[in-house]
Amino acid sequence: MRIALYVTCLIDLMRPSAGFAALRLLELTGADVHVPEGQTCCGQPAWSAGNRPLAINLAKKAVAELEAYDAVVIPSGSCADHLRHRYPELLKDDHAWSARAASVAARCHELSDFLVNVLPLPEVPGTFDGSVTYHDSCKGLRQLGIKTQPRALLARVQGLSLREMPDCEACCGFGGAFSVRFDAISTRIVDDKCDTILATGADAIVGGDLGCLLNIEGRLRRRGDTETRVLHFAEVLAGGSGS
């Protein structure tokens, strides 16, 4: 199986370790994993701002880059939702592109879902000495049904115990441009999230979307918490320098 790892722009720039962790996990499945060189951003920020022409432009670019692969794996529920659900919608009226977009979309998978339901991860190299709590990011949870997959994978990490928090499904307040457009509201929302995280006493908060993780980590640090680790689940699963 020829797989494309779609790194996402946030991981590429802000947290390459999560990208390398995803790469390692995918290689463990025995698949032939590639990182398409031309990838930049899926275009969700343009879509979210309401700029349809720009979102369409970037959707076509990604479709062309990804259609040669049997599967596209994305370590982000938010970006995976954009490729899976928005690309076909954005390109549905374009005869040259609609079938191509639908075909690529159907082959796009969020990382944890892929490692549980498509090509099961044979072994989990990472170990973790302590407890983690898991934040369900909105798009992954509500648009893609990502809930049990990351937990099932984390349960296989030696030494790790999961301490669920109440309201683990509540939004962290990131919301892409929302976090800067309405920074004060965003901060107020993520404060609630930080409170529930800290109340679990977990050593780390783990999630599957870097946007949410940057928001949560940024607020925890600003509040003076330098202890709680903030990790992408891929980093925990892959072990090594990331976790």
Partner 1 sequence: MYFKASAGLKLNNPVLQAALKKAQPLFTAKRRKGMASLAADGLDFETTRAAAAAIRQRVLDDLEHWLKTFEQKALATGAEVLWARDGAEVSRLVVELAQRHGVRTVTKSKSMLSEEAGLNAALSAAGIRPVETDLGEYIVQLAKEPPSHIIAPAVHKTIGEVDSLFAEAHGRPPQSRTSADIPLLAKEARQVLRAQFLAADMGISGANFLIAETGSAALMTNEGNGRMVTTLPRIHVVVTGIEKIVPTLADFATLMRLLPRSATGQDISNYVSLLTGVRREGDDEGPEKTVFILVDNGRANLLGGPFEAMLRCIRCGACMNHCPVYFALGGHAYGWVYPGPMGSVLTPLFSGIEQALDLPHASTGCNQCGSVCPVGIPLPDLMHGLREVQNARGLLAPGERRALALWGWIAARPRWYRWMTRLAARYLSWLAGDAQRIEVFGLLPEWTAGRDLPMRSRKTFQEQYAARKRD
Smaller CB distance to partner 1: residue 126 or 175? Answer: 175
156 binds partner 1 (CB under 8 A): no
Distance CA 103, CA 114 (A): 17
Distance CA 143, CA 92 (A): 19
Find the part of the chain contacting partner 1 (CB under 8 A) among 46-54, 93-101, 120-128, 147-155. 46-54
Task: Candidates 68, 148, 188, 240: give the one binding partner 1 (CB under 8 A).
Answer: 188
200 binds partner 1 (CB under 8 A): no
Distance CA 102, CA 105 (A): 5
162 binds partner 1 (CB under 8 A): no
Task: Candidates 96, 122, 180, 227: give the one binding partner 1 (CB under 8 A).
Answer: 180
Task: Candidates 1, 49, 68, 155: give the one binding partner 1 (CB under 8 A).
Answer: 49
Q: What backbone phi and psi angles, to 5 degrees, belong to 146?
A: -85, 110
User: Which amino acid does the sequence have at 39?
Assistant: Q
CB of 91 to partner 1, least distance (A): 15
Which parts of this chain interact with partner 1 (CB under 8 A)?
Answer: 7, 9, 11-17, 19-20, 23, 35, 37-41, 43, 45-52, 54, 57-58, 61, 138-139, 142-143, 170-171, 173-190, 192, 214-215, 217-219, 221-222, 230
